[in-house]
A and B are shown apart, each in its own frame.
Chain A
Amino acid sequence: MTESFDLAVVGAGPAGLAAAIRSSALGLKTVVVDEQPAPGGQIYRAVEATSRSPRAAALGPDYLRGRELVERFRASGAHYQPSTQVWQIEPSWSLFASTAASTHVVSARHLLLAVGATERPVPFSGWTLPGVMTVGAAQIMLKTSFMVPKPPFWIAGQGPLVLLYATQLLDAGIRPDGLLLTTPKGAIGRALGHVGGALSGWRYLRKGLAMMRRLKRSGVPILSDVEGIEAIGGERLERVSYRRAGVTQNVAASTLLVHEGVVPSTHMSLALGAAHDWDDATLCMKPRLDDWGKASLPGLSIAGDCGGIGGAEAAAVQGEIAAIGAAQALDKLDDAAAQRDALPLRKALAAHLAIRPFLDAIYRPRAAIRTPDDNVIVCRCEERTAKDVRDAVASGCIGPAQVKSFTRAGMGPCQGRQCALTLTELIASARGVSPAEAGYLRIRPPLKPVTIGELAALDEASAKEPA
Chain B
Amino acid sequence: MTPDVIVIGGGLHGCAAAMNLSARQCRVLVLERSAVARHASGASAGGVRTLNRDLAEVPLSLIAARMWDDIESLVDDDCDYHAHGQLRVAETEVELASLEARRQQMLALGYSHEVVIDQAELRRRAPTIGPQCVGALMVETDGAADPYRTTHAFRRKAERLGAQFIEGACVTALSRQGTVWQVTTPAARYEAPTIVNCAGAWSDEIAAMIGDRAPLQTRCSMMMVSERVAPFLGPVVSAVNRKLSFKQTDDGTVVIGGGHQGRPDRAHESYQLDGRRLGESATAVAAIFPTMRRVRIVRAWAGLEAQTPDHLPIIGPSPSAPGFFHAFGFSGHGFQPAPAVGRALADLVIDGGTQMPIAPFALDRFATSGKAA
Contacts and interface: CB of A to CB of B under 8 A. Distances in A.
B275 A456 contact: no
B286 A452 contact: yes
Interface stretch (A88-96, A114-122, A127-135): A88-96
B241 to A, nearest CB: 15
Interface stretch (A4-12, A384-392, A411-419, A426-434): A411-419
B282 A459 contact: yes
A455 B299 contact: no
A456 B296 contact: no
A452 B42 contact: no
Contacts of A405: 37, 42, 148
A462 B276 contact: yes
Interface string A85-110: 00110110010100000010100000
Interface in B118-161: 148
B279 A413 contact: no
Contacts of A94: 275
A63 to B, nearest CB: 33
Interface hub of A94, A96, A452, A458 (most chain B Cβ within 10 A) = A452
Contacts of B31: none
A456 B297 contact: no
Contacts of A239: none
B298 A412 contact: yes
B279 A449 contact: no
B227 interface: yes
A96 B297 CA distance: 14
Interface centre among A103, A273, A444, A460 (most CB of B within 10 A): A444
A209 B278 CA distance: 52
A445 interface: yes
B298 A413 contact: yes
Nearest to B293: A453
A334 B203 CA distance: 49
Contact of A449 (B37, B270, B292, B298): B298
A105 B275 CA distance: 9
A450 interface: yes
Given A105-B275, A402-B35, A452 B301 contact: no
Among the interface residues B42, B274, B279, B296, which one has the most CB atoms of the partner chain A within 10 A? B279
B298 A452 contact: no
A458 B274 contact: no
A413 B296 contact: yes
Interface in A389-407: 401-402, 405
B275 A453 contact: no
Contacts of A449: 227, 296-298
B107 interface: no
B280 interface: yes
A462 B274 CA distance: 14
Contact of B278 (A88, A412, A453): A88
Contacts of B321: none
Contacts of B297: 446, 449-452, 455
Contacts of B299: 411, 415, 444-446
A455 B298 contact: no
A131 B292 CA distance: 32
Interface string A432-467: 000000000000111001111101111110100000
B272 A455 contact: no
A456 B42 contact: no
Given A405-B42, A449-B227, A459-B279, A88 B295 contact: no
Contacts of B35: 401-402
Contacts of B282: 452-453, 455-456, 458-459
B74 interface: no
B283 interface: yes
B300 interface: yes
Nearest to A415: B298
Interface string B245-279: 00000000000000000000000001011111011
A458 B279 contact: yes
Contact of B280 (A90, A445, A446, A459): A459
Contact of B276 (A412, A452, A459): A459
Given A446-B300, A450-B297, A455 B278 contact: yes
A445 B273 contact: yes
B286 A456 contact: yes
A458 B280 CA distance: 8
A458 B275 contact: yes
Nearest to A91: B272
A375 B225 CA distance: 28
Contact of A88 (B227, B273, B280, B296): B273
Contacts of B274: 90
A295 to B, nearest CB: 17
Nearest to A459: B279
B227 A452 contact: no
Nearest to A463: B283
A411 B299 CA distance: 8
Contacts of B292: 452
B153 to A, nearest CB: 12
B270 to A, nearest CB: 8
A411 B224 CA distance: 12
Given A88-B278, A96-B275, A105-B275, A450 B296 contact: yes
Contacts of A105: 275
Interface string B37-69: 100001000000000000000000000000000
B272 A456 contact: no
Contacts of B283: 455-456, 459-460
Nearest to B277: A459
Nearest to B296: A449
Which of B148, B270, B297, B301 has the most chain A CB within a 10 Å cutoff?
Answer: B297
A444 B286 CA distance: 22
A411 B301 CA distance: 12
B243 to A, nearest CB: 12
Given A445-B300, A451-B297, 4 more contacts: A88-B273, A445-B299, A452-B282, A452-B294
**Top-6 shortest CB links A-B:** A455-B282, A459-B279, A453-B293, A458-B279, A449-B296, A88-B275
28 contacts: A87-B275, A88-B273, A88-B278, A90-B274, A401-B35, A402-B35, A411-B299, A413-B227, A413-B296, A445-B299, A449-B227, A449-B298, A450-B296, A450-B297, A451-B295, A452-B282, A452-B286, A452-B296, A453-B282, A456-B279, A456-B282, A456-B283, A456-B285, A457-B279, A458-B282, A459-B276, A459-B280, A460-B283
Interface of A: 87-88, 90-91, 94, 96, 103, 105, 273, 401-402, 405, 411-413, 415, 444-446, 449-453, 455-460, 462
